[in-house]
């Protein structure tokens, strides 16, 4: 038996408030960071070791959402950004940094098959790799 449940707008708002990270994190390799030099004035760039040791970034919501345990050892820096930062950079830069998140094993990346309403999702956040489409979730997608 299948039970269809549709959350209310209030429930969805509560989920967003409690479970969606308030900041965006981008895990990058050293050469990738250099590609974004012109876009880094509005963000905090934290070396990997310092990031993972800092109590502000060890909240269970961040650890679980971004799946820290799965992040590639090649990552040398973490870009800590406000949710609107990604929308301020060029489409080409946005696609590059988002696809990089897939390559380094960051969480909040899901197969498109989980999203039956995919036509309403921004194409900038949808990628295809090895014949499968996937969506990279950032704060502005949740909202």
List, for residues 108-129, the tens digit of each pLDDT value.
999 998 887 767 788 889 999 9
Specify the DSSP class assigned to residue 122: -
What is the C-alpha end-to-end distance of the chain, expressed in Å?
32
Give pLDDT tens digits for 35-84. 989 999 999 999 999 999 999 999 888 998 899 999 999 999 999 999 99
Helix (H, G, I), strand (E, B) or coil at 62: helix
Question: Does any domain span residue 67?
Answer: yes
Question: Does any domain span residue 130?
Answer: yes
**Measured at the alpha carbon of residue 36, what is the angle toward residues 28 and 138, in degrees to the nearest 5?**
60
Question: Does any domain span residue 125?
Answer: yes
Domain that holds residue 109: 20-142
What is the domain count for the chain? Answer: 1
* Confidence (pTM): 0.86
Q: How far apart are CA 117 and CA 45, in angstroms?
A: 34
Token pair 């449940």 in the structure block, residue: 5
Question: Does any domain span residue 138?
Answer: yes
């Amino acid at each position: 038996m299948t039970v269809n449940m549709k959350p209310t707008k209030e429930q969805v708002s509560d989920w967003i408030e409690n479970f969606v990270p308030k900041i965006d994190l981008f895990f990058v390799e050293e050469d990738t960071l250099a590609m974004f030099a012109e876009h880094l004035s509005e963000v905090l760039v934290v070396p990997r070791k310092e990031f993972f040791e800092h109590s502000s970034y060890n909240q269970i919501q961040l650890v679980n959402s971004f799946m820290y345990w799965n992040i590639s050892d090649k990552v040398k820096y973490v870009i800590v950004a406000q949710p609107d930062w990604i929308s301020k950079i060029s489409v080409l830069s946005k696609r590059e940094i988002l696809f990089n998140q897939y390559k380094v094993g960051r969480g909040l990346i899901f197969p498109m098959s989980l999203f039956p309403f995919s036509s309403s999702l921004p194409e900038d956040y949808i990628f295809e790799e090895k014949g499968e489409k996937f969506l990279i979730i950032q704060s502005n997608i949740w909202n």
